[in-house]
Structure 1
Amino acid sequence: MTEYEKQQAGMVYNAPDADLVKELYACHDRCWEYNQIRPTHHAERNKMIRQILGKADEDTFINQPFHCDFGKHIRVGKRFFANFNFTVLDEAKVTIGDNCFIGPNVSIYTACHSTDPTERNSRQEWAKPVTIGNNCWLGGSVTILPGVTIGDNVTIGAGSVVVKDIPSNCIAAGNPAKVIKRIDAGEME
């Protein structure tokens, strides 16, 4: 298997593999170009972001600056909005549903590293996908860690660190984020 195939299979892979690094830098260059487009040039920005992301539409709106590693592993649904300083380490797939709002300084991480210094220094890593459902709002400075799934109709409070799955129809907050309120169907109408 190639290092990319290992990466996408969730296996340990060699992060400084030449092919991976080439692809990573190509995406970083595209992000740099995106971040240089005048903020008022909406159509040009949208066209460029659709070239970076694996799935986006004409309503996708991401304020600059935006940073990601591969881009093609990120899929966003309809009417997606992200505010300033959205950062996605998309070594694995990141799937975000329809009608999602991302506050400023939000980070989503899929890359995993060993806690053992010797192993970590070998530059071997692995990645776990992140999935966020429909109608979600991630408040400012939220961090989503590898392997997390967030259900539909969820609000994550500002500054939260999400380390475990969050079920649908709730508000979660804290470090680590925990459900603080359930939302019933009547409240969502």
Structure 2
Amino acid sequence: MYEFDTRGADLMEKHHRTRRLLRRYNETPSDAGETRAEVLSKLLGRVGQGTWIEPPFFCDYGENIFLGAGVFLNFNCTVLDGARVEIGEGTLLGPGVQIYATSHPLAAGDRIYDRDGMPGYHTTAAPVTIGRHVWIGGGAIILPGVTIGDGTTIGAGAVVTSSVPENVFAAGNPCRVIRAL
């Protein structure tokens, strides 16, 4: 896990660039495949062949998101990519899935600092890795530092606070393995 300031000049420049690209992507019609592919190639770290992201889509920087071939993100997915987020080939995300590679320290004294008379906020980040052929049900939340193994299904609404092995069905809050697949 590492720490950074999201309001530093370099990250603010990336923030504004990402907002422009997201606006363009989210407003591009679904039948304008070439335009969508062009925007995603500028926005994301890697876009595998056949990737499909239903707008609206939201992310912090985009450049830390790496998608394998045939990845599908349904409506309203959010990826806070302060650290690397890797999603393996053939993985499906239901509507409203949220992936948080970014967080903040729990204690206010560790989280808040003085930035020229205004509060500043320490931000932490840890990579998220989602394997190949994973299905994440709608409304699930994936927290920083989590790895989800190949072939696993995460139930709708799950809050994934720790890593999940491959080829299992896991669900709940906090998410836990229900059974092997």
Whole-Å Cα distance in 2 between the matches of residues 22 and 147 of structure 1?
26
Shift of 1:15: 2.3
Matches within 5 A, 1:125-140: 125-140=123-138
Number of residues of Structure 1 aligned to a counterpart in Structure 2:
174
Match of 1:143 in 2: 141
Unaligned segments of structure 1, at least 5 residues: 1-9, 184-189
TM-score (norm 2): 0.92
> Residues 7-55 of structure 1, C-alpha deviation per residue, up to 9 Å, x if partnerless?
xxx4222221111111122112111111111122222212211221101
Q: How far does the alpha carbon of each residue in 1:101-150 deviate from its partner, in whole angstroms, 9 at most, with x for none? A: 01000000011201112332221122100000001000100100000000
Q: Which residue of 1 aligns with 2:170?
A: 172
What is the letter of the counterpart of residue 76 of structure 2? N
Contact 1:75 1:94 (8 Å CA) reproduced: yes
Higher helix content, 1 or 2: 1
Q: Which residue of 1 aligns with 2:48?
A: 57
Partner of residue 90 from structure 2, selected from 74, 85, 99: 99
* Contact persistence 1:150–1:165 (CA under 8 A): yes
Question: How high is the TM-score relative to the length of structure 1?
Answer: 0.88
Task: Determine if contact 1:46/1:58 at 8 Å carries over to the other structure.
Answer: no
Structure 2 CA distance for aligned equivalents of residues 70 and 128 of structure 1: 15
State percent identity of aligned pairs.
40
**Alpha carbons 2:55, 2:76 under 8 Å: kept:** yes
Residues 72-114 of structure 1, C-alpha deviations (whole Å, 9 max, x = no match) = 1000111111100010000000001111001000000011201
Question: Which residue number in structure 1 is paired with residue 155 of structure 2?
Answer: 157
Question: Which residue identity is paired with 2:135?
Answer: W
Any gaps of 5 or more consecutive residues in structure 2? 114-120
CA offset digits 1:56-80 (Å, max 9, x no partner):
1331100000011111100011111
* Matched ranges for 1:23-102 at <5 A: 23-102=14-93
Q: Distance in 1 between matches of 2:73 and 2:55?
A: 9
Q: Provide runs of 4+ in structure 1 moved above 3 Å.
A: none
Paired with 1:180 and 1:86, the residues of 2 have a C-alpha distance of 25
Give the Å deviation of 1:173. Answer: 0.3
Match of 1:4 in 2: none
How far apart, CA to CA, are the structure 2 residues paired with 1:129 and 1:155? 20
Superposed CA RMSD? 1.1
Instruction: Give me the whole-angstrom Cα distance separating, in 1, the residues matched to 2:69 and 2:133.
Output: 10
Aligned equivalents of 1:59 and 1:47: distance in 2? 13
Larger fraction in strand:
2
Contact 2:77-2:98 within 8 A present in 1 as well: yes
Contact 1:50 1:57 in 2 (8 A): no
1:21 aligns with 2:12: yes
